[in-house]
Structure 1
């Protein structure tokens, strides 16, 4: 369990505090950003990764945990290493390209999961590797003319043209020449003359093709190159994110959302974090007038909130800008719930728009012990107390009941802290909440 001190509560990076996340792959779909990540196991001393995770946000600060819709078990032919993937939407389906170890050959290979929902569940689309040459880090780009490209590679950089079904390809995998003009000059290495290391992220903006990637292990920084076409020729453009952040790897993801540009990455910023226990974070940025990418540094504040949160519609308890002490799990009545709630833990929800005022609060809770209380605090974990709801014992951790309590003084827009209090040990589980006007 990741236990965080109260001090960093004002920060919003890293985005997830309940588990370690890595290798961000953001996707904009239907007014939300869906963030696909890897999952570093607690206490890892290697890249010990067995499943992938999904989170989503409409405001870039409050993220909803959708759990793990795909794991190594999804691919019967895979034996280990649920590493850095990438998801795209096409044909009414979501395709999740991931590197895993092929049981038959022992090589790293690229598999494809497919789902009709951005949050899964995902199934194995073809029952075998799509490509297999021992290299990793798939990225898919669909050009304006509909042609899709799969890029991947470490130590090389490969591409292949995908067919419109997104699960087969035409032609053979082709290496992109790693020239120093295209990908910069690496010093001190006789086997890798360029800065390119891994994790390509290819996209197109104003007719120019960008390839943002992890450079010069180890520790890595993020660099980029540009080209007039999707396969090159590439020209090295410089640094996006310098080496920093207590993880010797990094992994880029770049999107535009609601008129802003965002850069996703990972570091080791959580307690216990490091090169094998990483956490995804995000920064907002603005392209330079000539289309170049500015230098972006890691922050603990993250991007500004782009829309307030409506407390008068049902909100999932696993939606948070920051949390302390809790984890999430699959709920017996569907979706996810927050669990492992101890005295003093809390969930911060940022920018909650109460308007002219809330009069009541409703929550869905379950407890196999004697329960506890939810304090509704404004501004901080010790801020103005707007109400207290009692969560009773229900006879089981998935035996749910709905509770209500009055609310006073919740007007305007505030950060809401759902602070949990009670006795010792785990108090209760928490599924969803909603205020009444």
Structure 2
């Protein structure tokens, strides 16, 4: 009888501690998205990024801290041109069209797909890339006058950032407007290979700010800088004190960022970092605040303690 009682107590203790461990594990699990993007729509945050082999995942949150992974992919390769390398998605709700637009890369070509829901399914009207040649990291910017621009990476000088205007359908590039705007040019960008990528444009007090990442994404010195211009088409001038985000706190391999406004209108930046200092994958999603200096320089800064999103 003593042995039976001991076994029962031991079993209960084991089950209890295992339950606590599983709960802690589930609470502390990170959001494993590379090249992350967050959209706030109708009181809910939606996160997209690079992770799945056969499409694009989507996560939801009401507070940016705890996230739920949707059961289905937002975009599946069956609804897209390309068979692999589904990277760097960005999703925007275009009110006058009543649809959500996803800009992403597949097979190292830039694509766009649409959906009636932020959860998808996103589908291409025509299964083809936006450009015939290789390109990645396409990002949408719509100016105050309604003109739409697409920034993206071409492999013309290492990874070089280009920009172009879009037609009203937001899917067709005006090829005559295409031009390179950023390439490797600052000392901190000198880690192999030649990389300027992951562009994202915001506008503040009449000035355009383009954030970008430099160095190989595999390097611990992957980081974020920015450039400014008085027109989306440039010329763009890099901030002389770049990078503004590199090896923050205990993170390495920080980059491919995007910016968004939270439910209070606060500008924030979302980015990925390596799994840890020894392993790159799976990359994790992080969030921080963005502020502009109050003086005439209007310097853009990443500030505050970094938020480390978790799965529910």
What interval of TM-score do these two structures reach, taking the shorter chain for normalisation? 0.7 to 0.9
Tell me what 1:284 maps to: 289
Cα deviation digits, residues 13-45 of structure 1 (max 9, x gap): 94x2xxx311111223223322221215xxxxx
Give the Cα separation in 2 of the matches to 1:277 and 1:190.
22
Query: Where does residue 121 of structure 2 map in the other structure?
Result: 121
Measured in 2, the distance between the counterparts of 1:249 and 1:4 equals 29
- In 1, the alpha carbon distance for the partners of 2:193 and 2:278 equals 31
Shift of 1:63: 2.4
For 1:305-334, what per-residue CA distance to the aligned partner results, in whole angstroms no more than 9, with x for missing partners?
xxxxxxxxxxxxxxxx645xxxxxxxxxxx
Q: Does 1:207 align with 2:206?
A: yes
Asked if residue 293 in structure 1 is aligned to residue 300 in structure 2, the reply is: yes
- Structural RMSD (CA): 3.1
Equivalent residues of 2:162, 2:181 under 8 A apart = no
Deviation (angstroms), 1:164: 1.5
Match in the other structure for 2:34: 22
Where in structure 1 do 4 or more consecutive aligned residues deviate above 6 Å?
Answer: none
8 A contact 1:210–1:226 mirrored in 2: yes
Q: Secondary structure at the match of 2:292?
A: coil
| Cα distance change on mapping 1:111 and 1:178 into 2, 3 Å | closer
Change (3 A) 1:60 1:248: closer
TM-score between the two structures when normalised by the length of structure 2:
0.77
Q: Which residue of the partner structure matches residue 39 of structure 1?
A: 51
Candidates 212, 228, 231, aligned match of 1:229: 231
Point out the structure with max Rg over C-alpha: 1
Verify the 8 A CA contact 2:224 2:254 in the aligned structure 1.
no
In 2, are the aligned partners of 1:149 and 1:162 still within 8 Å (CA)?
Answer: yes
Q: CA deviation at 1:113?
A: 1.2
Contact 2:211/2:226, CA 8 A, preserved across alignment: yes
Displacement, 1:211?
Answer: 0.5
Give the aligned partner of residue 272 of structure 2.
266
The 2-side partners of 1:123 and 1:190 are apart by: 36
The whole-number CA distance in structure 2 between the counterparts of 1:111 and 1:187 is 28
Q: Aligned ranges for residues 138-287 of structure 1 at < 5 Å? A: 138-154=138-154, 155-172=159-176, 174-178=178-182, 184-185=186-187, 188=190, 192=194, 197-217=196-216, 218=219, 219-237=221-239, 238-243=242-247, 248=253, 250-257=255-262, 258-269=264-275, 274-287=279-292
* 1:79 lines up with 2:83 in the alignment: yes
1:273 to partner: Cα distance? 8.3
In structure 1, stretches of 5+ residues that fail to align are 41-48, 102-107, 303-320, 324-346, 348-437
TM-score (norm 1): 0.56
SS of residue in 2 equivalent to 1:233:
coil
* Cα offsets for 1:353-386 (capped at 9, x unmatched): xxxxxxxxxxxxxxxxxxxxxxxxxxxxxxxxxx
CA deviation vs aligned residue, 1:267-322 (integer Å, no higher than 9, x gap): 2347x9832311111123433214322244874x54xxxxxxxxxxxxxxxxxx64
Question: Any idea what SS the aligned residue of 2:121 has?
Answer: coil
Structure having the higher helix fraction is: 2
- 8 Å Cα contact 1:199-1:251 kept in structure 2: yes
SS in 1 for 2:279: coil
Checking the alignment, whether the CA contact within 8 Å between 1:242 and 1:297 is kept in structure 2 is no
What's the counterpart of residue 4 of structure 2?
none
Give 3-state SS (helix, strand or coil) of 1:79's partner: coil
